[in-house]
Amino acid sequence: MIWIPITVLAAAFQVARNAAQRSLLTGAGPWGATLVRFLFGLPFSLAFVAIALMVTPVSPHPSWAFLGWSALGGGMQIGATAALLVSMHRSSFALGAAFQQSGLPFAAILGFLLFGDHLSGPAWGGLALATGGLIALSWPRGEGKHDWTAAGLGTLSGFCFAVSANAFRQASLALDSANPIPAALITVAVVQALQSIALTTWLIFRDRASLGAALRSWRVSLGAGFFGAAASAGWFVALALAPAGPVRAVGVVEMPIAALAGRRLFAERLGLRQWIAGAVTAVGVILTALG
């Protein structure tokens, strides 16, 4: 069960990373802010790999399956991150993080249908509760016409994160199933290298202004990179140790952390209904973890 505290730490680092990236949106735009997570996180990921290999020397076996799953997960994660940042910008920091948790049911269902990951009855009940809580969180208040863009982008982000979570789990298992933790950290570094090359190249040709803004804000970008690398390392290790559904379920602990961060950093407040919906989601998380 060591994957549970690892997941909680990963969620906390992820909130810190999202806060740093959100502050870059105005100057660097969604794609520039997305890039810093990978480009500035890569040196830290390589350092994590070096430490892991010193503790547990392994001989990983790269394959086309490993590269394929890494590329799929990396591409989906790029899109998910950009969609999440725009969702946070159009709603609030806390609600953007909540919408992202729609990846919880997606991850469980994809893991069950495609990879045979097993979940018990209580775990499925927990997923249903968590999903209901997320729907309540995203439902608008008041009458009249509502802008569903933030919720739509947040849900898209959740789906893309769900696909990437399952892909990263398969990549780590394909690399070295006997040594899941070193394999997971190596997978993080390989994926971030692919993401950095792809997104930097795209920005050079399509949006040099955003690339320049991200590089000029190197202090904030470096912080985002460190927190991103630490979060990714935690997620990848947890996914190497447990199916994507339960990992994503425990990761919903990010919601109250994000609510506190949004109130402290961006002066955002949640209403009573949103707190109740968050509590329902938390009960679903507990059921899923215990199931």
* pLDDT at residue 145 in the model: 47
Residues ≥6 apart with Cβ < 8 Å to 247: 3, 7, 107, 165, 235, 238, 239
Q: According to the model, what pLDDT value does residue 169 have?
A: 84
Burial class (CB in 10 A: 0-12, 13-18, 19+), 262: buried
The pair of structure tokens assigned to 23 is 């502050």
Mean of pLDDT over the chain: 80
Contact 106, 159 (CB under 8 A): yes
C-alpha distance from residue 66 to each of 11, 186, 238 (Å): 25, 11, 18
Output the pTM of the full model: 0.76
Could you tell me the residue ranges of all domains in the chain? Answer: 2-290
Pick the more confident residue, 103 or 153: 153
Q: Which of 154-168, 194-208, 221-235, 253-267 has the lowest mean pLDDT?
A: 253-267
pLDDT given for residue 252 in this prediction: 73
Between 20-29, 63-72, 121-130, 208-217, the lowest mean confidence (pLDDT) is in 121-130
The yes-or-no verdict on residue 147 having pLDDT over 60 is no
More confident residue, 174 or 283: 174
Percentage above 70 pLDDT, the chain: 78
User: Would you say how long the chain is, in residues?
Assistant: 291
For residue range 21-72, what is the model confidence (pLDDT) as tens digits? 878 877 888 889 889 989 999 999 999 999 988 888 777 788 999 999 999 9
What pLDDT score does 186 carry?
92
pLDDT digits (tens, 9 = 90+) for 232-291: 888 878 878 887 667 767 777 776 777 676 666 555 566 676 677 777 776 776 676 555
In the chain, the percentage of residues whose pLDDT exceeds 90 is 25
What pLDDT is recorded for position 18?
Answer: 81
Degrees to nearest 5, angle at CA 258 with 254 and 259: 120
At residue 48, the pLDDT reads 92
